[in-house]
């Protein structure tokens, strides 16, 4: 049976971390194979450290690199003893069959090195100003719930630490697919991900304003604007069109215009990226 190293990167969310780790204790993963849990901590305070050392002494705690989620996850893998790495966000709650489902998938698919698990929201969306990286059918490869063979991770040189805020998982997924690695979606390996505020001053939102634009442009520059999925200006023009039509109707009729300002920001971001990429391609 596989030996798992569950890597949980954290940053100043002690209460969320406590709930996450509670879902990973042995009695809540009754059918799991042997595993360890590593908390990689980018926090400036010692609150998360105390949660691990005082409440979960069976788990391991270590410093992150304090250069963003990519470096924090890499730091966790550097401490890992397992042949398989399971990435899980510090605000996720694992189902009781989470690790066992990954283990069964590995045993039944010995030629596959990458498995992604289901990510589901705790409830229906209540406002456009909250987000959740749901993954109900696979193909996303979100690091909120991802299982990968350690040797494969090392072969890809881990996450690119130039991505300080976002897009590190998009970049990692792109490199996996470029090297023809196949992945399998394991619906039973599920975690619940809470909705998070998308406002700059919202609860637990540490990300900078407009980080989506800077991260996307970094990604496009890295691959010389040759990735059609992310560097095609028409993609963002279509996004803009969808936001001001279908998404606007949904925001108005279902959400009663709650978070309308964030929807407008999404539309503006799509329009800005469209013009930036158009200018870049015109000047090539």
pLDDT digits (tens, 9 = 90+) for 105-144: 999 999 999 999 999 999 999 999 999 999 999 999 999 9
Is the sign of the CA dihedral 55, 59, 61, 64 positive or negative?
negative
User: What tokens does 80 get?
Assistant: 């890992």
> What pLDDT is attached to residue 210?
77
- Whole-number average pLDDT of the chain: 94
User: What tokens does 217 get?
Assistant: 């442009």
> What pLDDT is attached to residue 154?
97
Please tell me whether the overall predicted TM-score, pTM, comes out greater than 0.75 for this model. Answer: yes
pLDDT digits (tens, 9 = 90+) for 21-53: 999 999 999 999 999 999 999 999 999 999 999
* Rounded-to-integer distance, Cα 16 and Cα 152, Å: 30
Confidence of residue 230 (pLDDT cuts 50, 70, 90): confident
* Rounded-to-integer distance, Cα 8 and Cα 17, Å: 9
% of the chain at pLDDT higher than 90: 88
Q: Is the pLDDT of residue 205 over 60?
A: no
Cβ neighbours, 10 Å, residue 1: 11
Whose CA is closest to 9, among 82, 68, 51, 83? 68
> What pLDDT is attached to residue 209?
65
Confidence of residue 17 (pLDDT cuts 50, 70, 90): very high
Confidence of residue 227 (pLDDT cuts 50, 70, 90): confident
Phi, psi of 149 (to 5 degrees): -65, 135
The CATH label, of 3.40.50.1970, 3.40.50.300, 3.30.1330.30, 3.90.550.10, for the domain at 4-197 is: 3.90.550.10
Rg of the chain (C-alpha set): 19
Distances (CA, A) of 271 to 81, 123, 125, 197: 45, 30, 25, 22
> What pLDDT is attached to residue 280?
86
Q: Is the pLDDT of residue 12 over 90?
A: yes
DSSP string spanning 65-127?
-SS-HHHHHHHHHHT--SSEEEEE-TT-EE-TTHHHHHHHHHHH-TT--EEEEEEEESS----
Q: Is the pLDDT of residue 282 over 90?
A: no
Confidence of residue 224 (pLDDT cuts 50, 70, 90): confident
């Amino acid at each position: 049976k596989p030996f798992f190293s569950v890597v949980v990167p954290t940053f100043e969310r002690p209460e969320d971390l406590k709930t996450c780790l509670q879902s990973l204790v042995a009695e809540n993963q009754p059918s799991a194979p042997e595993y360890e849990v590593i908390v990689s901590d980018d926090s400036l305070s010692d609150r998360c450290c105390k949660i691990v050392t005082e409440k979960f002494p069976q788990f391991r705690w270590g410093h992150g690199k304090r250069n963003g989620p990519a470096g924090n996850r890499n730091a966790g893998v550097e401490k890992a003893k397992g042949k398989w790495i399971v990435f899980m966000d510090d605000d996720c709650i694992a189902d009781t069959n989470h690790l066992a489902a990954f283990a069964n998938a590995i045993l039944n698919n010995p030629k596959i090195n990458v498995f992604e698990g289901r990510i589901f929201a705790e409830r229906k969306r209540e406002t456009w100003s909250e987000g959740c990286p749901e993954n109900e059918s696979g193909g996303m490869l979100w690091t909120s719930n991802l299982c990968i063979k350690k040797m494969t991770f090392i072969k890809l040189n881990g996450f690119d630490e130039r991505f300080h805020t976002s897009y590190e998982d998009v970049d990692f997924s792109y490199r996996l697919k470029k090297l023809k690695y196949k992945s399998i979606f394991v619906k039973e390996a599920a975690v619940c991900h809470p909705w998070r505020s998308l406002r700059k001053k919202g609860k637990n939102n540490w990300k900078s304003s407009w980080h989506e634009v800077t991260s996307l442009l970094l990604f496009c520059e890295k691959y010389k604007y040759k990735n059609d999925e992310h560097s095609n200006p028409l993609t963002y023009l279509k996004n803009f069109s969808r936001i001001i039509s279908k998404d606007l109707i949904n925001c108005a009729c279902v959400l009663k215009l709650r978070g309308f300002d964030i929807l407008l920001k999404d539309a503006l971001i799509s329009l800005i990226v469209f013009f930036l990429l158009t200018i870049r391609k015109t000047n090539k």
